[in-house]
Amino acid sequence: MISAVRTITAKDLKERLRDKSFFLLGVLTPLVLAFVLDLVMGDLGEGQLEVDIAVVDVDQSEMSGQLQQGILALDGQGGIEVTALETGADPEAAIDADGHDAVIIIPEGFGPSVAGQGGGATQLDLIENPDRPVQAGVAESIADGFVTNIERSRLLAGAGGQLGVETPPVALESSIEVTREWPGGEGLDTGARMLAGMAVMFVFFTVQFGVTTLLSEKETGTLTRLLAAPIPRDAITAAKGTVSFLLGVIATMILMVTGALLMGAEWGSWLGVSVLVGCAVLTAVALMAIVAGIAKTSEGASAAQAIIAVGLAMLGGSWFPVSGEGAMGVLARMTPHYWFINGLEDLTDATTWTVVGGPAAAMVIIAVVAGVPAAILLRGRLRP
């Protein structure tokens, strides 16, 4: 049986590697897509979020001046740019003209309010740029932080006055320090993540070249000659599965190496990468084999496999990161895409390749669950 598997595998593998469609669909297309997506969306993941804030002091009191200086002290921290506007400047006009993400307004009466003479709560006004909601949200958080700090100082001063304890004056200088941290490490950069997503999505197309040939050989009559040969029938399905697995591994490893060389992708340990690639391809072969075992024609199988490949890719986060929470998270975890990409994310910052053990085990479970019915279905196809 081993000799028969080796012979059929060598023949099919040689034919497929000579076929330009293998490199076009398995290597070139995902590589080009990854480059394009990186060019389009690379800025979303590279560097840091830039926030452009303007501040205008309408009150012109000592307190408001101190607060304005405190806000201006944030300039240059963590991608935040702060600009002081002239008193009387129109905030909305400044947003339109200069593209600020938000304008913090220190309103008239702010100083007396902080000193407890205005009778009202301390407040700042914020004009947001509707086209920059994320950056405007950061500006709102900064303004809230200053107001909270002022209110806390006022409460301490009030309590101290009742107890006859002298308290320090209200602090209006910046106590906000902006830093950025990534729990568990930075993970893959945008380009590397895009390439990983495309690689695991297109491996589902690549493995079709192996298992789907069982249907095309049945249509052309070559399967009949194979069944007439003195070889075990299981050797035929084993050979088709082996061809699919090898084609998937070859195409995916070419993509991973190309990404490291041309895009500077840092995958981490290549042993860990190899384990993840092997498990992802094994899962793809099992899932695509189910379709090949159910479909009546090779064209029908290819169409169904394409739909499944794209659907699983979207669900598993090949195109965009998906939430790991709720029903969406449960569905995403049922795809090899989710585990493959998350395994690479963990591997990038890890000191040992063994961190891929969990994602690899999850993909093996999916492969076994899908592989058992796939083997039964494909064996049922071995009829003249």
Q: What is the pLDDT averaged over residues 325-332?
A: 81
Provide the strand spans (E) within the chain: 51-57, 80-85, 102-106, 125-128
Residue-wise pLDDT tens digits, 76-110: 776 788 888 888 888 888 888 888 888 888 888 87
Q: Which residue has the tokens 């600020």?
A: 100
125-128/102-106 β-pairing: antiparallel
pLDDT score, position 323: 66
**Residue of 216, 244, 206 whose CA lies nearest to 300:** 216
pLDDT score, position 183: 47
**Is a pLDDT exceeding 70 seen at residue 19?**
yes
Residue-wise pLDDT tens digits, 31-46: 888 778 777 665 555 5
Q: Which amino acid is at 4?
A: A
**Residue of 369, 224, 226, 201 whose CA lies nearest to 290:** 369
pLDDT score, position 211: 72
Most confident of 114-128, 271-285, 304-318: 271-285
pLDDT score, position 126: 85
pLDDT score, position 48: 58
**Is a pLDDT exceeding 90 seen at residue 271?**
yes
80-85/51-57 β-pairing: parallel
Decide: helix, strand or coil at residue 332: helix
The set of residues, in sequence order, having a beta carbon less than 8 Å from that of 113 and lying 6+ positions away, is 119, 120, 121, 122, 123
pTM of the model: 0.64
The least confident of 98-107, 184-193, 235-244 is 184-193
Instruction: State the span(s) of the chain assigned CATH 3.40.1710.
Output: 51-163
Decide: helix, strand or coil at residue 105: strand
The set of residues, in sequence order, having a beta carbon less than 8 Å from that of 155 and lying 6+ positions away, is none
Whole-number Å distance between alpha carbons of 49 and 42? 12
Q: What is the C-alpha radius of gyration for the chain, rounded to an integer number of angstroms?
A: 31
pLDDT > 90 fraction of the chain, expressed in percent and rounded: 9
pLDDT > 70 fraction of the chain, expressed in percent and rounded: 84
The least confident of 61-75, 105-119, 171-185, 358-372 is 171-185
CATH fold, domain 51-163, is abc type-2 transporter like fold (3.40.1710)
Q: What is the pLDDT averaged over residues 330-335?
A: 88
Tokens of 94: 């400044």
